[in-house]
Structure 1
């Protein structure tokens, strides 16, 4: 691989890292002062609460960590409750405490950034064994691009859910 290609791939990694940092900032701004009870308020007539969305964001990062050479967070089993396709939270007993979810999110973000920082050109081009979009040609690069969009989408959703929970908007 030429030095130009390697430099380009390093720039891609920096873009992924920047997207991770921006998403993390948006998540934290939208979660400011949210109580556990507020995190359980569901939109009407249907949809997921803030608690589920934050757990889902953490679960998605956690699912990709091994692909990046990082260990999943210790709460991996509890996060399965928030995986793609899981049922909405309808009872407080079904939900992790919001303070615990924020801690898990922070650790997932930290581990994801560490994994991204170690990415090589070869790793970016590697095919992934299980594409969440059923793309038979999915690479680490294309998966990371999809995940960046997914995480930003749900980070914005937290802002709407914050208002549904009765809080003022956090991002002007």
Structure 2
């Protein structure tokens, strides 16, 4: 089966983001994963956990029974100052890889009927269908991939792309 044309572009965006997320955290120490440029800023580990948790939520919206990843730590509105409660970076990275594989698989099999249904979540887009949610969450992930690229450069690890 192939990807529904309504989500073909965001599916490509998710693939690009997965590559950028991996490159962002590559070779970082646990200490670097927890560093942030300001008291109200998120660290690399929080962004990785948030992207992972959001991908889990997208799987649920796409009809897959899959648990959220530490939603209390990485969900929208979660406090960023509780680093001692975070799982180890390698655990978060492994969870990202696992959910990414499941999401890639689901993108190939999701039906047009499901994508046409109203989304169970209300996002700030005019398309309130599940297809609209996929599109919005691809944008959302790009936003966080950009934050991760900035954090990597701020950490002195150089430019992520280019």
TM-score normalised by length of structure 1? 0.83
Q: State the structure with more CA Rg.
A: 1
Distance 1:61 1:52, change over 3 A: same
Given that residues 124 and 140 in structure 1 are in contact (C-alpha distance below 8 angstroms), is that contact kept between their aligned partners in structure 2? yes
Structure 1 distance, partners of 2:136, 2:11, is: 14
TM-fit CA distance, 1:140: 0.3
Given that residues 30 and 159 in structure 1 are in contact (C-alpha distance below 8 angstroms), is that contact kept between their aligned partners in structure 2? yes
Residue 111 of structure 1 corresponds to which residue in structure 2? 102
TM-fit CA distance, 1:102: 0.8
TM-fit CA distance, 1:163: 2.0
Given that residues 49 and 161 in structure 1 are in contact (C-alpha distance below 8 angstroms), is that contact kept between their aligned partners in structure 2? yes
Structure 2 distance, partners of 1:116, 1:109, is: 10
* Cα deviations by residue, 1:83-139 (Å, 9 ceiling, x for unpaired): 001111x35312221111111111111111122111222111100223244x79621
Structure 1: state its 5+ residue gaps.
Answer: 1-6
Are 1:158 and 2:148 an aligned pair? yes
Residue 130 of structure 2 corresponds to which residue in structure 1? 140
Structure 1 distance, partners of 2:123, 2:56, is: 14
The DSSP-based 3-state class of the residue aligned with 2:4 is helix
Q: What stretches of structure 1 move > 6 A for 4+ residues in a row?
A: none
CA RMSD of aligned residues (A): 2.2
User: Paired residues, what number?
Assistant: 161
Structure 2: state its 5+ residue gaps.
Answer: none
Residue 19 of structure 2 corresponds to which residue in structure 1? 25
Distance 1:92 1:85, change over 3 A: closer
Are 1:101 and 2:95 an aligned pair? no
Given that residues 56 and 69 in structure 2 are in contact (C-alpha distance below 8 angstroms), is that contact kept between their aligned partners in structure 1? no
TM-score normalised by length of structure 2? 0.88
Residue 60 of structure 1 corresponds to which residue in structure 2? 54
